[in-house]
Amino acid sequence: MEIKILGTGCPKCKTLEQATRHAVNELSVEAEITKEEDIMKIMEYGVLRTPGLVIDGKVVMSGRIPSSNELKELLTN
């Protein structure tokens, strides 16, 4: 699984990155997590509000931080 956190480095973006890493560890999911901070590349995904979460090339959430349970659900679907 390839996961990208889209964000320019704001506190919410950092929180999403930490929460995602924590959820991946809890679920024992094999995933490569990267952070994209280049605003032009973020816009290529069509994300206008950060943070954004991309799983396997698909934007699954943007503009907010999901709950722990919601994040786990996104990672397992």
Residue type, 20: T
Task: Give the helix ranges, DSSP H, for 1-77.
Answer: 11-27, 39-44, 68-76
Q: Whole-angstrom Cα distance, residue 12 to residue 19?
A: 10
> Could you count the other beta carbons within 10 Å of the beta carbon of residue 34?
11
Point out the residues that are catalytic: 10, 13
